[in-house]
Structure 1
Amino acid sequence: MDELEVGVGPWSGPWPDDPRYDPELLANGDRRNVVDQYRYWRRDAVIADLDLRRHDFHIAIENWQHDFNIGSVVRTANAFLAREVHIVGRRRWNRRGAMVTDRYQHVRHHPDAAALVSWARGEDLPVLGIDNLPGSVPLESADLPRRCVLVFGQEGPGLSEPVRAACERVLSIAQYGSTRSINAGAAAAIAMHTWIRQHAVG
């Protein structure tokens, strides 16, 4: 069976007189991982349009061991239109899981937890941890602030002690099976969708 082609081929008919369109994409087709609204648009035009509508939550994830989940977190943050993604720790991260969405998502680096917390305080943003820790509050019944930073720990150990200490609250995701935790990519998707349900739907 032939593999289905993604995207669209070269533009058919007279080219649009609109500076958002990319002549190279119009001529050769657009096979990027973008919604139809942005077909043939220049990358900077897509980013500028997204910037007009970004939501007021930020996502932060700790990166001490080159976590493979970070790409998935970035991709989900793009899907839910997070304001920014913050990588805490190592600057380099595995981009494969992002499926090129990092080209359209603002990503900021902080060398350590103190730098993230300092930035968040400067922006007057509460930091909320997502982890299944003793004393955590169930995410399912929590009211999330419209403006906030949702922070996730490294896969395995979870939130580091410095990040835990800086969190206004730590929220847990209800689980019913035998596993101790779900991976950071899945947890981030659940938390982002919870924010969307509270502040962006309806």
Structure 2
Amino acid sequence: MSTARVEAISSSSNPTLKALRVLAQDNAAYRTQGRVWLEGDHLMRAALQRGQDLELAVITEAAMHDRPAWRDLVLHAPRVLMVSQKAFEQLSGLSSAAQVAAVIRLPVAPVLDPTAPSLVLDRLQDAGNVGAILRSASAFGVRQVLAMKGTAALWSPKVLRAGMGAHFALGLHEGLSVDEVLALRVPLVATSSHATVDLPQADLPRPCAWVMGHEGQGVNAALMAACALKVRIPQPGGEESLNVAAAAAVCLYEAARRAA
């Protein structure tokens, strides 16, 4: 039987709602609050399935009464805030608010394993790209992601939405320097349109660390110089380059296919 405490809150000036509004709308707020905003039932279920505890849940009055599955979901949290549709829309960072959300403690990054198959994100700016890459990493068996300084905040609401729950299957490390990435003891592999080796014919090292670079500037010069292998993704359609999230999916799939 649930022991959740359900509180009906009508005032938008409620201090808890104010703090949640910042968490939901400020991409870096999770770092100062030590908490993560999960909007929508999919992210909430993904967190629970991976053993995360909900610290607090928020649900609209209408959803509490009309959506029994969502009501059961929020009751996993010890504290549930029931708010009006308008109050939830003021909280949400979405143009179409989800009507249900939760807060978890910011997961502690595991100890970085220098010998593990890894994915390096080098100053990727677009939150959608970052989230999509995390989703591919989880799908294709990479369990360790190293995000360098300048990369979009991994636990921001936008990256979380694009990741669709992949965060909870990954060991995520943020704010790393070039030197910290170079301390990896697995070979670095990058894609480059100037490479002479095509991905399908490349002798891919296993394990390795795939390096995905900035959308406009590409991979940091020092990292590129340290790569044991540079590969080109064949594009018979004639495009100059792929979106970085698409490139990551292609590379990670090829590596997983060979390892199967």
Question: TM-score when scaled to structure 2?
Answer: 0.53
**Any conservation in 2 of the 1:144–1:195 contact (CA below 8 Å)?**
yes
Structure 1 counterpart of 2:200: 140
How many Å apart are 1:159 and its aligned residue?
A: 1.4
1:13-65 deviation digits (Å, cap 9, x = unpaired)? xx9xxxxxx999xxxxxx53699xx89745259xxxxxxxxxx5211111254
The yes-or-no answer on 1:59 pairing with 2:69 is no
> Quick one: percent identity of the two aligned structures?
25
Tell me the SS of whatever aligns to 2:234.
coil
2:140 aligned partner, one-letter code = F
Which one has a larger percent strand, Structure 1 or Structure 2?
Answer: 2
**Any conservation in 1 of the 2:121–2:147 contact (CA below 8 Å)?**
yes
The yes-or-no answer on 1:32 pairing with 2:42 is yes
Q: What do you get for the CA RMSD once the two structures are aligned?
A: 3.1
Of the three residues 133, 142, 145, the one matched with 1:85 is 145
Question: TM-score when scaled to structure 1?
Answer: 0.66
- Sort the Cα spacing of 1:68 and 1:114 in 2 relative to 1 into closer, same or farther, 3 A: farther
Aligned length: 159
How many Å apart are 1:105 and its aligned residue?
A: 1.4
Structure 2 unaligned regions, length at least 5: 5-40, 54-115
Tell me the SS of whatever aligns to 1:163.
helix
Structure 2 counterpart of 1:156: 216
TM alignment of 1:35-184, pairs within 5 A: 41=49, 43-44=51-52, 57-63=117-123, 65-66=125-126, 68-90=128-150, 92-93=152-153, 94-95=158-159, 96-118=161-183, 120=184, 124-133=185-194, 135-184=195-244
1:123-161 deviation digits (Å, cap 9, x = unpaired)? x2111112222x442111012122110111111222121
- Sort the Cα spacing of 1:175 and 1:23 in 2 relative to 1 into closer, same or farther, 3 A: farther
Partners of 1:61 and 1:42 lie apart in 2 by 23
